[in-house]
A and B are shown apart, each in its own frame.
Chain A
Amino acid sequence: MSKEWEPRIVAFFCTWCTYTAADLAGISRMTYAPNARIVRVMCSGRIDPQFVLKAFADGADGVLIGGCHPGDCHYQAGNYKALRRYTLLKRLITELGIEPERLRLEWISASEGDRVQKVMNEMAETIRKLGPLRLERPLSQPLPDTERGAVPLTVSGRGL
């Protein structure tokens, strides 16, 4: 690799709260880590768990989900839906060997530009510490055999 590795983060922000807050952070000329590509969605409830896995599969090292605070969803309950999916998805990715810190959910209202700044910085820092998420690709090629030195893998503490 010629360039030094930088964390790649995909951020799904709802248009009514967190995206507006990111806009506010920009207008207020706040500086924060430039590692996230923001994808604007209408509601955090629109974020299909497939989007998150697709982001990881296509090279994201971390995924951030931003929605309105509980009770503040523009569509009443979309953020609760996001919370329920996120809770289960986090368990699923952990069992699939992805550190849970790589997926984060934050409630950020339209006026909290400073919170966008703080969360973006923290997330970049967390991912930097974890290092790149290296998925083995492509599976369509026969994978090299593991010959030696491997530690048996466990799923959430259970042995094979």
Chain B
Amino acid sequence: MSKPKVGFYWCASCGGCEEAVVDLAEDVLKVVEAVDIVFWPVALDFKRSDVEAMKDGELAVCFVNGAIRTSEQEEMAELLRKKSQLLIAFGSCSHLGGIPGLANLWDRQAIFDYVYKEAPSVTNPEGVVPQEQTKLGSNGYALTLPSFRDSVRTLDQTVEVDYYLPGCPPPVKLIVNAVTAILENKLPPKGTVLAPDKALCEECPRKPTKPDKLALKELKRPHQTLIDPEKCLLAQGLLCLGPATRSGCGAPCVSANMPCTGCLGPTSRVKDYGAKALSAIASLIDSEDEKEIAALMEQIVDPVGTFYRYSLPASLLHRRVRSRQTRTGGASA
């Protein structure tokens, strides 16, 4: 019997998810033994036309990392969806929008203006910005670039997704579990996030020192304090998002004195990670005075970047609401 065919693809991503595959170390050999990797642009020389030549459903599974930002990524997502029996959103960007999703605080115009004109490191007196089409003078041949969308989307806001491997990047243990489940045909119901459905606090080594009732009079950032390496970070006034975040990572950040920033996203009962995390933190503030509460909350310097660090596109609002004046191009609905 021939081995199941597997593909990996990247969209708007940093490459960290590809790195996670390498982090499988010797386990990667088991994977290679069991499957045939037939598409993996970062490591192997296959082209889009190779995928186009496949039969529909020819790939047993395809792992897609990165968010969806350009027309080319949309096309690849659609193509890979058609050619794959299982499409798996791999990593925070694909799952929830990830760090690139924070660009939804702006839009294409604002991003282009800054990146190509206003950034202090840019010299561009003619104001040249990339064009989707450039006609070459002599022979009329046109060069094209993908179109850059106004918003970043998750993979499942673009095509149907079967499973999610959360994390920034997904922890090795979860990848191995997922691959094993696929090979042994022991997958949970479609749409499941392939990680435990419990909060990170449950697997945190600092859990024994987490008080039943937390009451915070101060919110600190890691550089502002000497961190006790054993005590619960929230109890030390550090903004740890462990109570709102799905477990499965083994708490590497928290173990290294870094508060959890929420890369695995919410548990299954939560619709909007940022709102839930905000709710969890706000509830712990120990004050009943309006002014004092406002002052304490001011210590959270960047609420969107804090609570939606990995999930703005997947949130209920998806992006920053633009005033009508700044919208062009028929956003009337």
B-contacting residues of A (Cβ < 8 Å)? Answer: 48-50, 52-54, 56-57, 70, 77, 80-81, 83-85, 87-89, 91-92, 95-98, 133-137, 139-140, 142-153, 155, 159-160
Q: Let me know if A91 and B297 touch, CB within 8 A.
A: yes
Q: Which residue in A80, A91, A139 is a CB contact (below 8 Å) of B288? A: A80
Q: Let me know if A84 and B293 touch, CB within 8 A.
A: yes
A-contacting residues of B (Cβ < 8 Å)? Answer: 71, 74, 105-111, 113-114, 118, 147-151, 153, 157-158, 270-272, 274-276, 278-279, 281-283, 285, 287-288, 290, 293-294, 297, 300, 303-304, 307, 313, 315-331, 333
Given contacts A48-B279, A87-B294, A160-B114, contact A143 B331 (CB under 8 A): yes
9 contacts between A and B (CB under 8 A): A48-B279, A50-B270, A84-B287, A142-B149, A144-B328, A146-B107, A147-B328, A153-B322, A160-B113
Please report the C-alpha to C-alpha distance between residue A159 and residue B279 in the assembled complex, in whole angstroms: 28
Query: Measured between C-beta atoms, what is the minimum distance from A8 to chain B in Å?
Result: 16
Q: Which residue in A70, A85, A133, A155 is a CB contact (below 8 Å) of B278? A: A85
Q: Which residue in B282, B316, B328 is a CB contact (below 8 Å) of A150? A: B328
Q: Which residues of B contact A85 (CB under 8 A)?
A: 278-279, 282-283
Given contacts A143-B331, A145-B147, contact A88 B303 (CB under 8 A): yes
Q: Which residues of B contact A144 (CB under 8 A)?
A: 150, 328-331
Q: Let me know if B297 and A88 touch, CB within 8 A.
A: yes
Please report the C-alpha to C-alpha distance between residue A148 and residue B109 in the assembled complex, in whole angstroms: 7
Q: Which residues of A contact B276 (CB under 8 A)?
A: 48-50
Q: A48-B279, A153-B322 are in contact. List 18 more A-B contacts (CB 8 A).
A: A49-B278, A53-B317, A57-B317, A83-B293, A84-B293, A87-B297, A88-B282, A88-B297, A92-B303, A96-B304, A136-B327, A142-B74, A144-B331, A146-B109, A146-B327, A147-B328, A150-B326, A155-B105
